[in-house]
Amino acid sequence: MNARTHWWKNAKLYELYVDAFAGTFAGLAEHLPYFTQLGVNCLHILPHYPSPMIDDGYDVADYRSVRSELGTIEDCIQCIEEAHRCGIRVIIDFVLNHTSDQHPWFLEARRSRDNPKRDFYLWSESGTGLAGAVNAFPDIKSQNWIPNPATGDYYFATFYPRQPDLNWDTLRVFEAMLANMEFWAARGVDGFRLDAASHLIKREGTTSKGLPETHQLLKRIRRRLETTYPDVILLAEAVQDIESSKEYFGAGDECHMVYNFPLMAHLWLALCDGSRSSLDATLARSSGIPESCQWATFLRTHDAITLGTLSSDQRHRLIDFIDPKHEYLFNNGEETCMRIASALRGNTERILEAIDLLYGVPGAPIMYYGDEIGMQNIPVRNLELNARRYVRGPFDWNIANAQLKDPASLLNRVSQIIKGA
């Protein structure tokens, strides 16, 4: 596991919530043989940090610990070590753009205007400014400036109101966050998924998305980590078009991996239309990245199926195909939250077609936990603004164990696809 290779170029990832998949880190360690049997060689562990769980862990209250219900930090480290002994790499989510409003930094910053942590976040007297910045959740909040009664002003939040954005123009934020990353690198993690990587730097008169200053910042992060942890990788989440997404690779000096969101959308279009024309065109546009870099390819993750890189007609046609009853819409109906098996009505052959399509394109493919056994969405039980939670249900070990014993099961046929890729 210590050999200096571009291991991420041949990664086959499996994305999971520890609690949903195995209960605890100790439980996850016990299930490591499952991943070997499936054929994956890298785990992406979704946020495991202490959190109020407003956004299922993406509201981090402590970057250097583990939620108590998942076990201890020692359990986490032991799980990572066990994974390495099995030949499995481990990357963890790292939330760069914002913290929880319960993080000690923000609890200090919101108390008074002269608090030493004040400049860790973004503030406004009037709740105006940065008017062009992306509001990631327009169906949840009308604007990004959130009132702070204690100081009579407003803080900036791109995502949930209780996720205040960090001020990356402050050197102390850079140093504090890099120290947090180094903390986990020292404990054996092989990489970081950089959540909302495109939003880090804000500037007036822009969308504050994918700015040149953000790319400069990501390169600084890469340089800093590389000095001590040269094999620890950065995986950028940036929902942008192909050319803009390629910028997160830099000249091989920025992120090692980047999610290919446009390719995901065209994989679904190919399944919808029965034609590869737009998929092949997208694959052609995806070529030409630095030799040391790799796309992360996927059909879905823990989030909504994001279709913002498609035309309006393509987007709505695809939503009608994936979610014909419009039960799981998100983001004002511009996205939908569907597991593969739900989108394909539980049709085993179509599920296999979808997975075979994914593992047949260049890149490092991601399997979202449960898709390999045909798990479906949690049924709609009440009005839930965060429809993404319907694809974050508990892993069904009864189904998995039954399928493991059946050579003709979906799970074993998926395993053949993964191992043959």
Diameter of the chain measured on Cα atoms = 65
Nearest of 190, 180, 185, 140 to residue 162 by alpha carbon: 140
The amino acid at residue 12 is: K
Q: Phi/psi of residue 263, each to 5°?
A: -65, -40
> Rounded to an integer, what distance in angstroms lies between the CA atom of residue 212 and that of residue 417?
39
Indicate if the alpha-carbon torsion angle 228, 229, 233, 234 is positive or negative: negative
Could you say which of 93, 195, 231, 371 is catalytic? 195
Structure token digits, residue 309: 């890189």
> Rounded to an integer, what distance in angstroms lies between the CA atom of residue 281 and that of residue 287?
10
Q: Phi/psi of residue 125, each to 5°?
A: -70, -40
Could you say which of 237, 323, 335, 371 is catalytic? 237
Any catalytic annotation for residue 59? no
Nearest of 48, 46, 92 to residue 188 by alpha carbon: 92
Structure token digits, residue 252: 């091989």
> Rounded to an integer, what distance in angstroms lies between the CA atom of residue 111 and that of residue 122?
14
Any catalytic annotation for residue 195? yes
> How far, in whole angstroms, is CA 173 from its chain's centroid?
22
> Rounded to an integer, what distance in angstroms lies between the CA atom of residue 311 and that of residue 328?
20
Are the CB atoms for 308 and 259 separated by under 8 Å?
Answer: no
Residues that are catalytic: 195, 237
